[in-house]
Amino acid sequence: MSPNLATPTLFRNGRLFDGDSFLSATDLMTDARGQVAAIGSGLEPPKGARIVDLEGRWLLPGLVDCHVHFREPGLEHKEGYAFGSSGALHGGVTTVCEIQNNPPLMSSPEAMATKLENLRGVSRVDYAPYGSLVENSLGCLAEIGEMCPAVKVFLGGSTGSGGIGSEDNMRRWFTAAAAAGLKVVAHCEDDAIMAAAAAKISGDSELNTRHDLHRTREAEVQSIKDAIRVAIEVGLALHVFHVSTHEGAELIAEAAAQGHPITCSTGTQYLLITADIAHQAKQNRFKVNPAIKYEEDRAGLGKMVMEGRLPVVGTDHAPHPLEHKDRPYKKAPSGFPSIDLLLPMIFAAADLNNSNPAPFLHAVTAGPAREFGIAGKGKLEIGADADLIIVDPDAKRVVDEADLLSRSGWSPFHGFEFRGFPQQVYLRGEQVFADGKVVGPPRGEPLFAK
């Protein structure tokens, strides 16, 4: 797909994970189109090919992060694609599905086409932004849908975006998306339940700063129940993002088992952190919507990933300057930067569950690529884009937020010890990241452009 010719490269003597499982083959060859040309053992390099000896390190498909906010256009001072995509490479991510949650929303084909075009020469990773499912976009969903993997809706307010208002609106919007043949991706939290929860603790100065008591389990679970019911009623393909409760994810798995096109993903934070840890963190660093829940939720979600019943994980990378987070609880925005650490967080989530890394790696490679119909990504197979990560899974490091490349320059995981930081990343056969730094010009391309 790249207009430029890539240098054919033989990666040899590695341990290969193909997006679904580990292979017995040790070598992978890329071609001048920047695609995977051969997988095997003892492969011979064609004349002029570059040779990379993996020396036993792992070769993985570039990660697909299905939930990020890069805030371009509109809030480039918070991130922008130049910084966001650099952070992505630091985390091993070569494809982002990005959500515009600040104005201008992606509610017209013109807005979407302009965004896709303006990011050429800016983004260092391939990009597939979602359209916006809002009142204004109902009349042009089919055209928007030609340029995106799905359309995003907020069922309940979050940072910068209002909720859907009523169930009648949800039914009308879901019906329009189903008629346009589009998948809807949803943030599920119920505003009325959150308002009632807030009222209950408003007089208690300690409880009143607990994010998990404002944005409760019940708020997510009820919103998921309502969304499933209406999606089934109107025949909609629904994907619920960043599910934070075990119960919510089980409800969705149940609907899927009954044959409905209803799926979900969780976020790395819900696999790693619990509400108490989030509450104790300074500067509201772990304040995020939905709120981080409890150990039963963390363990339950992790088990579902291991069992293959929750095959998609995204970061919800949501950058804010630290001085904005460092305000009193109620005034601090929700969300934090995290894409810079996706691969190490995935290893940590596997380790926390005493799991082989394979199902967790699957949830950030072939899992999301399949879920969102992203051809040629998330897999090591002949003909796939040669988006690759070289990693030593045993090399540990303490996270220093000063090393991260996304714009906000801080991380709630500062000081955590993780393993498996990407050493080198390739995008369509060309090296784009090595030794903690980006390499070469931005080569990212839109994946759903007309």
Residues that bind Zn ion (CB under 5 A): 316
Minimum distance between the CB of residue 99 and Zn ion, rounded to whole angstroms? 6
Question: For residue 57, what is the DSSP state?
Answer: -
Which lies closer to Zn ion via its Cβ, residue 220 or residue 316? 316
Minimum distance between the CB of residue 23 and Zn ion, rounded to whole angstroms? 34
Minimum distance between the CB of residue 293 and Zn ion, rounded to whole angstroms? 16
Minimum distance between the CB of residue 145 and Zn ion, rounded to whole angstroms? 20
Minimum distance between the CB of residue 107 and Zn ion, rounded to whole angstroms? 17
Minimum distance between the CB of residue 289 and Zn ion, rounded to whole angstroms? 8
Q: What are the strands, taking DSSP E only, across 48-139?
A: 50-53, 58-61, 63-68, 93-98, 126-127, 131-132
Tokens 């005034």 sit on residue: 331
Which lies closer to Zn ion via its Cβ, residue 80 or residue 376? 80
Q: What 3-state class would DSSP assign to 47? A: coil
Which lies closer to Zn ion via its Cβ, residue 33 or residue 211? 211
Q: What token pair was written down for 11?
A: 């990666």
Which lies closer to Zn ion via its Cβ, residue 189 or residue 190? 189
Minimum distance between the CB of residue 335 and Zn ion, rounded to whole angstroms? 7
Backbone region of residue 129 per phi and psi (left: phi > 0; alpha: psi in -120 to 50; beta: other values): beta
Residues with Cβ < 8 Å from 273, sequence gap 6 or more? 286, 292, 298
Residue nearest to Zn ion (CB): 316
Which lies closer to Zn ion via its Cβ, residue 18 or residue 316? 316
Which lies closer to Zn ion via its Cβ, residue 316 or residue 385? 316
Q: What 3-state class would DSSP assign to 60? A: strand
Minimum distance between the CB of residue 63 and Zn ion, rounded to whole angstroms? 17
* 250 phi and psi angles, rounded to 5 deg: -65, -40
Q: How far are the Cα atoms of 29, 58, 223, 383, 423 from residue 26, in angstroms, in the given order?
A: 11, 9, 46, 18, 18
Residues with Cβ < 8 Å from 139, sequence gap 6 or more? none
Q: What token pair was written down for 320?
A: 């804010």
Minimum distance between the CB of residue 440 and Zn ion, rounded to whole angstroms? 29
Are 319 and 407 in contact by the 8 Å Cβ rule? The answer is yes
Minimum distance between the CB of residue 288 and Zn ion, rounded to whole angstroms? 9
Q: Count other C-beta atoms under 10 Å from residue 395's C-beta.
A: 12
Which lies closer to Zn ion via its Cβ, residue 91 or residue 393? 91
Tokens 């989530």 sit on residue: 349
State how far the Cα of 225 lies from the Cα of 143, in Å rounded to an integer.
30
State how far the Cα of 428 lies from the Cα of 258, in Å rounded to an integer.
38
Which lies closer to Zn ion via its Cβ, residue 69 or residue 362? 69
Residues with Cβ < 8 Å from 81, sequence gap 6 or more? 70, 72, 119, 122, 123, 127, 444
State how far the Cα of 415 lies from the Cα of 280, in Å rounded to an integer.
15
Which lies closer to Zn ion via its Cβ, residue 26 or residue 265? 265
Which lies closer to Zn ion via its Cβ, residue 34 or residue 335? 335
